[in-house]
Homo-oligomer: A and B are copies of this chain.
């Protein structure tokens, strides 16, 4: 089955929103073995939307739209879809009852009622989070058109719980895709390490950069069943891991931090953090993970020197002598965080995230990252990555990632400082 996504919303064409729905739907369709060949984005313009839906239905078996189902005037999807299908809109009593239930005890604006009108003959898809229901319709020639709401927290459960089961019944072939994830490995070097492995067609092996600018390798296999596809993919995943070595922190793992939380939980150990330039980012990333309360109890954000002394006992004369951004202060922060929290590991980070605040001796982008362990404290310095300042956000994410990766290496028995 060939599929296509049509993302609707002028906010996407003006860049006021990022199309995360397309990424979500793409992942889910791949899991169902449905080939996604195009994603098109159009504004809240009925003419262009109609042209786009017609073109998509002409070349694909399944078209999924996202957006434009809400109660406001620019929400034109259902009306336009009904035209494309050649049917009228009809009031769906179930959706109306859901809307009334949603607004029970609260004021419901007149405009909300519009949301209960769906293309005649379509199957309603209940919105368990927000107000606008979706629907799945079939064209005269047997193609499928699904209309989903735009907000990701509404679209995602609607797809997973309602649309996906309807689609799964219609497909036969399975695609399995595994991601081998790395930290501090350039994409070009990864491709060189993998060599001829990247030439394979089934499984295919390809390198990518994730949203944190880290390389990952995707191994994708196609077969008649999920089990056969897995059997094709598995040995290739093992080869990729072996060729890349220590930089690999996980396969199909959610995130580096989730991997760290899991490894700590398995050992019954804890980590404590003391952050300066990352300002709580390591703590935030650790506590993004469900289960983090078992392995992370205390984090300190000591953005000012006074806070480093008051909360961590970093000696004032050390700060005066070597400065807050120094190997010694990073080391002390990690060791004191560890000791004061009674944790097995302590992370200390101090640096100059920029864009301001650099000096010739300590340029913007200089970050010291320490990991205190029971036996020894390891310290690393940024930048090693090509040496150019990547901007404040990227530098903070890299610094936090480096700290997490040092701990990951320790917990997996790899060299902490490569």
Residues of A in contact with B (beta carbons under 8 Å apart):
7, 9-20, 22-30, 36-45, 48, 52, 70-74, 102, 109, 111-112, 129, 131, 150-151, 153, 177, 179, 187-189, 191-192, 198-199, 206-211, 213, 216, 218, 220, 273, 275, 277-284, 286-288, 290, 292-293, 296-304, 306-307, 310-311, 340-341, 353-357, 386, 388, 390-394, 396
Whether A298 and B279, one on each chain, are in contact in the complex, defined by CB atoms closer than 8 angstroms, is no
State A287–B283 Cα separation when bound (angstroms).
13
Given contacts A27-B14, A129-B388, A273-B301, contact A284 B293 (CB under 8 A): no
A210 to B220, CA, bound (A): 33
* Cα(A218)–Cα(B303), bound, Å: 36
The answer to whether B356 and A290 have CB atoms under 8 Å apart is yes
A279 to B272, CA, bound (A): 12
Q: Are B48 and A42 in contact (CB under 8 A)?
A: no
Contact A73 B198 (CB under 8 A): yes
Candidates B14, B37, B206, B216; contact of A72 at CB < 8 Å: B206
The 8 Å CB contact of A16, one of B27, B29, B151, is B27
B16 touches A19 (CB 8 A): no
For A353, the chain B residues whose CB sits under 8 A away are: 287
28 A–B contacts from the bound complex (CB under 8 Å): A13-B36, A14-B26, A14-B30, A15-B29, A16-B23, A18-B19, A18-B20, A19-B39, A38-B40, A39-B39, A70-B188, A71-B187, A72-B188, A74-B206, A109-B192, A111-B188, A111-B192, A279-B288, A280-B281, A280-B282, A280-B299, A281-B284, A287-B301, A290-B356, A296-B303, A298-B307, A299-B299, A299-B301
Partner of A71, one of B188, B208, B282: B188
Q: Which B residues are in CB contact (< 8 Å) with A394?
A: 153
Smallest CB gap from A190: residue in B: B72
A280 with B284: CB separation less than 8 A: yes
Cα–Cα, bound, A284→B281 (Å): 5
A95 to chain B, nearest CB (A): 15
A274: min CB distance to chain B, Å:
10
Q: A37-B43, A39-B12, A303-B299 are in contact. Are A20 and B211 (CB under 8 A)?
A: yes
Tell me whether B297 and A307 are in contact (CB under 8 A): yes
Q: Closest 8 A-B residue pairs measured CB to CB? A: A279-B287, A280-B283, A15-B27, A299-B301, A15-B26, A280-B280, A297-B304, A39-B41
Compute how far the CA of A41 lies from the CA of B287 in the bound complex, rounded to whole angstroms: 34
How far apart are A128's CB and chain B's nearest CB, in angstroms? 8
Shortest beta-carbon distance from A282 to chain B in Å: 8
Contact present for A311 and B298 (CB under 8 Å)? yes
Residue of B nearest to A74 (CB): B206
Residue from the list B13, B129, B307, B388 in contact with A26, Cβ < 8 A = B13
Question: Which of A18, A279, A286 is most buried by chain B, counting CB atoms within 10 A of its CB?
Answer: A279
Report yes or no: B37 in contact with A38, Cβ–Cβ below 8 A: no
Bound complex: CA of A71 vs CA of B207, how far in Å?
10
**In the complex, residue of chain B having the shortest beta-carbon distance to the beta carbon of A300:** B300
Roughly how many angstroms separate A341 CA and B207 CA in the complex, as a whole number?
Answer: 47
Within 8 Å CB of A44, what residues of B?
206
CB distance from A68 to the nearest CB of B (A): 12
